[in-house]
Structure 1
Amino acid sequence: CSGCELNCQLINRFHENAPQMHESKIISLVDGVEKQFDFLITTTPTQIDGKEYLIILIKDISAQKRKQALERIFFHDIINLAGSLNGIIKLVTSQQSKEIFDKYLPASLRLSGELMDEINSQRDISLAEVGELAIKNEWVNSIQVISHVEEMLTYYKESKDKQIRIDEQFEDVEFISDKRILERILLNMGKNALESSTTGEYILLECKKENGTVTFSVYNSKPIEPEIQSRVFHRSFSTKGTNRGLGTYSMKLLGEGFLGGKVWFKSHPQEGTRFFLSLPA
């Protein structure tokens, strides 16, 4: 494609005289599911019979990069959450005041819940990437699922001074899926929408059933820049700085690779952004 890192790098390397090394990401369809590869590319210019050639060595470093990304993001988030929780506990124990205890108990419960959720999330992604994530299908209800997701989103610090709305036309649908994995995907969508929103704005949780599928969607008003849209589902890609990036990647990995659905998004400067998850119903 026009944004292919490998293609752009090779074009640039053709005019250099010394061997060069760089990394490149490529997405391929494997058994109908998108799979991401990381390659270490070594290019060496040479001449044969007066013609210029570029010798290209490609090494698959996907496992190494996957491990690095998981560990980097995991430790970053865990340290932040554990540090905040530790700070609150120290404050409560040092003050020995019932008023302080009552004030900070809800925050400590929220942080401990986020800490457990983060650990479980990283575990699920690690298992999913090697195809070992166990799926437990059961009858689930769309209203119950989204109500739990809405409640969980209110615990995240990103929800401060923002509204989480459920669409008035949200459809009540019964279908079979893995409830825990489904809620994790929708939580990632919701958290991503909250992170993209500013104070006073809202995100919208939606659901509709048509043509034998149930489609969940999460809306926020911020558009995604056209030049980065093709990389939204790349592992470790993020617009939020370093040590981020598994949220959108895991949506695709879990939703398509394990729930048998389809994950995509639409974004427009005047209309904002919607992430979708469509599942058999």
Structure 2
Amino acid sequence: KRLSSDKVIKQIEIFKGTNTLNEILNTIPVIFLVINDYRQVIYMNKTALDFAKIKDVSSIIGQRPGEVFGCIYASKGEGGCGSSEACTYCGCINVILASQEGKPAVNDCRLIIGPNEEAYVLRVWSHPIIFNNIDFYAVSLQDIGNEKRRQIFERLFFHDLLNTVNSLTLSLNLLDISKDENEKIEYIKKLNYYTRTITEQIQSQQILNAAETNNLTIASNKFNSIDFLSEMVKYYEDQLNSRQIKIQIDPKSENIEIETDKIILKRIILNIIKNAFEAINKDGKIIVGCVLIQNGVKIWVNNPGYIPREIQYQIFQRTFSTKGTNRGLGTYSMKLLSSYLNGNVTFTTSEENGTTFEVYFPIKPK
């Protein structure tokens, strides 16, 4: 249910007449809105107008915040913003609904907008106010994406790096005290793996930082798809075997000569495989494969795990993670890096068939 356009226009006029208030609010460097009881936008300060890429509220009469900002889920439900299944988990809507109980509320919101699916992490405040004897809600939104990403970058990178260094140190100590030659050979293999992993972790961080700042340089490498998948399987094979998880190449995979940036593609696929084995228990199986589709290549990674509905809607967002506070960036980095290959990453998930991440990219650079 929404207020009629005529009544919304009358409410807009109330705030148009407060010139001094407008001047003050236009100096605030955060997105500021006033909405009515039906969550329709009545007022926007300059920062909000700039973010929405509009000149004034007269062009969005009767619309709700998700519709104004171009949220990709705003058109998924019959009632617009707030009516789709994804909206159930929206931090912005939940904050506004909480403030409609009569108390100020605050929460974080992950917003994906536009055809390019730009991702934002916003902190949202909503305060109930009464103006001209009418109930309104003052809503402020601040972009905290850089802050969140910086925290995650640092903690995730140092956490993973420290774990690898600890494993490297342990293997060195065991090699030092071992008397058995076969044991020594195994420890040396582990040392090679851990040193390679440290290099990969540093390179991965460098690539992601460059991609985030639009400074990533793309190379062109020619390689075979089956050889590439074999390399990916080998990379994680020892680690997966220790957890009794099998990884194998789908026999239906096609032998394709690919020309793209191998290092970036490797980062994407290794990230997907890592997420797969973190999502399943022992005795599980991960299957990787590839086929030619029109003028492109599809590489997929399947695992038997299922992604719950509430998580599916947030899977590619910058700071979202199922692993706890200050984790994440895995699925977001897949999406980001694939765009540099003129490709895309999608996923399907069901309790019957598990979860499959698919990477699409041109067989040759465009």
Q: Does 1:261 align with 2:343?
A: yes
Pick aligned residue for 2:246 from 143, 154, 163: 163
Q: State the SS of the aligned residue for 2:210.
A: helix
Larger radius of gyration: 2
* C-alpha deviation, 1:98, in angstroms: 5.8
Pick aligned residue for 2:304 from 196, 203, 221: 221
Report the residue type matching 1:275 in the other structure: F
Q: Which runs of 5+ in 2 are unaligned?
A: 1-72, 74-86
* C-alpha deviation, 1:185, in angstroms: 0.7
Q: Which residue in the other structure is 1:15 paired with?
A: 101
Q: Deviations over 1:52-74 (max 9, x none)?
A: 11112222222111111111111
* C-alpha deviation, 1:91, in angstroms: 3.6
Q: Which residue in the other structure is 2:136 paired with?
A: 53
For the 8 Å contact 2:240–2:246, the answer to whether it is kept is no
d(CA) in 2 for partners of 1:158 and 1:125? 29
Change (3 A) 1:103 1:137: closer
Calculate percent identity across the aligned residue pairs.
Answer: 32
Q: Deviations over 1:28-56 (max 9, x none)?
A: 23xx4322111122322211011111112
Q: State the SS of the aligned residue for 1:232.
A: coil
Provide the TM-score with structure 1 as the length reference.
0.90
Q: Which residue in the other structure is 2:281 paired with?
A: 198
Q: Which residue in the other structure is 2:198 paired with?
A: 115
Aligned length: 276
More strand by share: 1
Q: Does 1:272 align with 2:358?
A: no
Pick aligned residue for 2:209 from 126, 136, 143: 126
For the 8 Å contact 1:23–1:38, the answer to whether it is kept is yes
Change (3 A) 1:234 1:136: same
d(CA) in 2 for partners of 1:201 and 1:61? 38
Higher relative contact order (Cα pairs below 8 Å, separated by 6+ residues): 1
For the 8 Å contact 2:335–2:345, the answer to whether it is kept is yes
Q: Does 1:180 align with 2:266?
A: no
- When the two chains are superposed, the root-mean-square deviation of aligned CA atoms in Å is 2.0
d(CA) in 2 for partners of 1:105 and 1:84? 12
Pick aligned residue for 2:327 from 235, 241, 244: 244
Q: Which residue in the other structure is 2:232 paired with?
A: 149
d(CA) in 1 for partners of 2:252 and 2:233? 16
* C-alpha deviation, 1:204, in angstroms: 0.8
Q: State the SS of the aligned residue for 1:164.
A: strand
d(CA) in 2 for partners of 1:48 and 1:243? 40
Q: Which runs of 5+ in 1 are unaligned?
A: none
d(CA) in 2 for partners of 1:250 and 1:216? 16
For the 8 Å contact 1:223–1:272, the answer to whether it is kept is yes
Provide the TM-score with structure 2 as the length reference.
0.70
d(CA) in 2 for partners of 1:161 and 1:91? 23
Change (3 A) 1:275 1:159: farther
Runs of 4+ in 1 over 4 A off after TM superposition: none
* C-alpha deviation, 1:165, in angstroms: 1.0
Q: State the SS of the aligned residue for 2:117.
A: strand
